[in-house]
Structure 1
Amino acid sequence: MFRKLLNSYLHQLEARPMLTKMISGGVVVGLGDAIAQRISPHYKKFDKDRFLSMITYGFLVSGGIGHLWFRGLDKYFGNSMTIKNSIKKVCADQFIIAPPEIVFFLWWSHYTSQSTHSFTDLIKATLPSLLVQNYAIWIPSQFANFYYIPEQHRVLFMCAICVVWFAILSFTSHEFEN
């Protein structure tokens, strides 16, 4: 069963790479949000609107932009899977795209939740700790991703890590609201 599902995914990845990665991103971010809602003491009932908003974010940003970003890194730095090249890609990924992506995620969750709190207060309260958590999770993960994983599978690898990461992001951004 698992092998059949994996083969189907790999076929779709070959035939429709962008769409497949966008769907993967939506599923993973949605799963992360579902976990965050489940562990939050503030949510007694599942918030479907929040869940759909997070799926949309994952589809557009994590999957769509992630596909383009990884391709761009390979185009700019080359696709050799060496330690030096992997470190360059990790630095670009973590210091160029990660901080604005976290801010964008916070903005997305803040405005789609119709929060009454200030976005500036949300950033001040959550961004420093989220950046530290981001670097702790993503620097080693992305190094492994760039060093060991071929380009066509990087978004899938990233998605596996994203379940945990987006649970943290969703929990943190929405807990601030309560």
Structure 2
Amino acid sequence: MQVTTMKARSIFKLYQQLLNRRPYLMQAVQTGTLMAAGDIICQSLIEKKKLRHLDVKRTIGFSSIGFFVGGPALRVWYGLLNKHIGSTGKSVALKKVFVDQVLFAPAFLYLILIAVGTLQGKSFDTIKADLKANYTDVLITNYYIWPWVQLINFYYVPLQYQVLVVQSVALFWNTYLSWKTNRKRLVE
């Protein structure tokens, strides 16, 4: 038990060091990894695929969205919120949640849905049709979950760990997004 605790502490200490030295890279890697995990969960648990039949290309695409778009965008966004709204206090957390959910969430979800469609090789017209069919539902579902998560995140969690907290919860959100964006493909 003690050896396991020591290993966990060592891993967390290494993570903290890397996060301090290369915050954008670390948050890109963790976001890409957790988005890949969400897609694997979707494929294995929801779509009932055996591990050897997983669509690796799809998982890599989903992961790359997290690595190249999600992680860096979240890191920049949280830094901007901290700089322009503040870092502590109840009213600061409420203001951050409001701005996050009114400005960032709608635009970010739109971008993610376009990126997923593009990586799936869909035509522009098909992506537009998918956006029309899915965007409102995804955004409404977002509003059931994320304001509460963000309220806790912005009030209790230091800036350097906010992306990790969001991406940990997003493991389930990414599973939902993977299912939502691949649902029609599964029926075809």
Choose the corresponding residue for 1:145, options 138, 153, 156.
153
Cα distance in 2 between the residues matched to 1:176 and 1:84? 42
Unaligned runs of 5+ in 1: none
Structure 2 equivalent of residue 88 of structure 1: 95
Deviates more, 1:142-151 or 1:34-43: 34-43
Counterpart for residue 176 of structure 1: 184
Partner in structure 1 of residue 4 of structure 2: none
How high is the TM-score relative to the length of structure 2?
A: 0.88
Instruction: Give the greater-gyration-radius structure (CA).
Output: 2
Match of 2:163 among 149, 155, 160: 155
Checking the alignment, whether the CA contact within 8 Å between 1:122 and 1:176 is kept in structure 2 is no
Residue aligning to 1:112: 119
> Is the contact between residue 109 and residue 174 of structure 1 (CA under 8 Å) also seen in structure 2?
no
TM-score by length of structure 1 reads 0.93
- Report sequence identity in percent: 28
Show the counterpart of 1:29. 35
Change (3 A) 1:28 1:41: closer
Q: Which runs of 5+ in 2 are unaligned?
A: 1-6
After superposition, give the CA deviation of every residue in 1:82-105 in whole Å (9 maximum; x if it has no partner): 111111111111110111111111
- Please give the residue correspondences for 1:24-63 in structure 2 after superposition, counting only pairs within 5 Å: 24-41=30-47, 45-63=53-71
Q: Which residue of 1 aligns with 2:21?
A: 15
Matched, 1:78 2:90: no
Aligned partners of 1:103, 1:39: CA distance in 2, in Å? 26
- Deviation readout 1:16-68 (Å, 9 max, x if unpaired): 11111111111111111111111343856211111111111101222111111
Give the paired residue count: 177
Which residue is 1:123 aligned to? 131
Report the RMSD for the aligned CA atoms in angstroms: 1.6
Superposed CA offset, 1:124-148 (max 9, x none): 2211221121111110000000000
* 1-structure distance, mates of 2:134, 2:172: 17
Deviates more, 1:163-172 or 1:35-44: 35-44
Give the secondary-structure state (helix, strand or coil) at the position aligned to 1:118: helix
* Alpha-carbon distance between aligned partners in 1 of 2:184 and 2:177, rounded to the nearest angstrom: 11
**Distance (Å, rounded) in 1 between the aligned partners of 2:156 and 2:128:** 39
User: 2:47 & 2:110 partners in 1: Cα distance?
Assistant: 24
